[in-house]
Amino acid sequence: MATPDFVLELRKSIGHAPLWLIGVTAVVVRGDEALLVRRADNGNWSNVAGVVDPGEEPADAAAREVLEESGLVAEVDALVGVFASEPLQYANGDHAQYLDVLFLCRWVSGEPHPADGENTAAAWWPLDALPPLPGTHDERLRLALAHAGPALFRRRNSPAESPADSPVDTPA
């Protein structure tokens, strides 16, 4: 994912210090297929994902990222869930953590292609023949495809749970 200009400007002031960012993951479906993009930086297939620009609505960011990364027009149908990523460190030393807003999207028009240089391929994959997906991308895809109700959010160490309990996805 290319670093947005606003993040580059922030980094001039804060250096490599941890930065909390809002991200979106867009699971785009067309019938019994899902859109996946092959990342240029590591060669992995993944869902479309990106950073929400300042003042941008997350659903608009999801549709924008789909168009920018794959050339497809997609309609955001549902907020599936909101999750905090694990803290990470990039190769350049920058530290970040993301609040990931997961959306289920429906294909409207276009044929997938790597539209912005962040990906080397974009393609429809049959839901019963998906490639391996890195990190949380497999979980996000499964959650979006199974979505049939209120949005989910992950709870850790809520008053009803002990710290040893595993995370629970709870309807909003």
Banded pLDDT at 4 (limits 50, 70, 90): confident
Burial label, 24 (beta-carbon count in 10 A; 0-12, 13-18, 19+): buried
User: pTM score, two decimals?
Assistant: 0.85
pLDDT at residue 159 in the model: 58
Residue range 136-170, pLDDT digits in tens: 999 999 999 999 988 988 777 665 543 333 344 55
Give the count of domains, the chain: 1
Structure tokens at 145: 């495809």
**13 belongs to a structural domain:** no
Q: Give the Å distances, CA to CA, from 51 to 31, 126, 162.
A: 27, 27, 33
**93 belongs to a structural domain:** yes
Residue range 76-93, pLDDT digits in tens: 999 999 999 999 999 999
Residue range 33-50, pLDDT digits in tens: 999 999 998 999 999 999
pLDDT at residue 122 in the model: 98
Question: What distance in Å separates the CA atoms of residue 126 and residue 83, rounded to the nearest whole number?
Answer: 26
pLDDT at residue 167 in the model: 44
Q: The domain containing residue 111 runs over which residues?
A: 23-155
Whether 75 contacts 27, CB under 8 Å = no
Question: What distance in Å separates the CA atoms of residue 10 and residue 4, rounded to the nearest whole number?
Answer: 10
pLDDT at residue 166 in the model: 37
CATH value at residue 55: 3.90.79.10
Nearby residues of 96 by Cβ (< 8 Å), 6 or more positions away: 18, 19, 20, 21, 87, 88, 90
- Which of 14, 1, 4 lies closest to 93 in space, CA to CA? 14
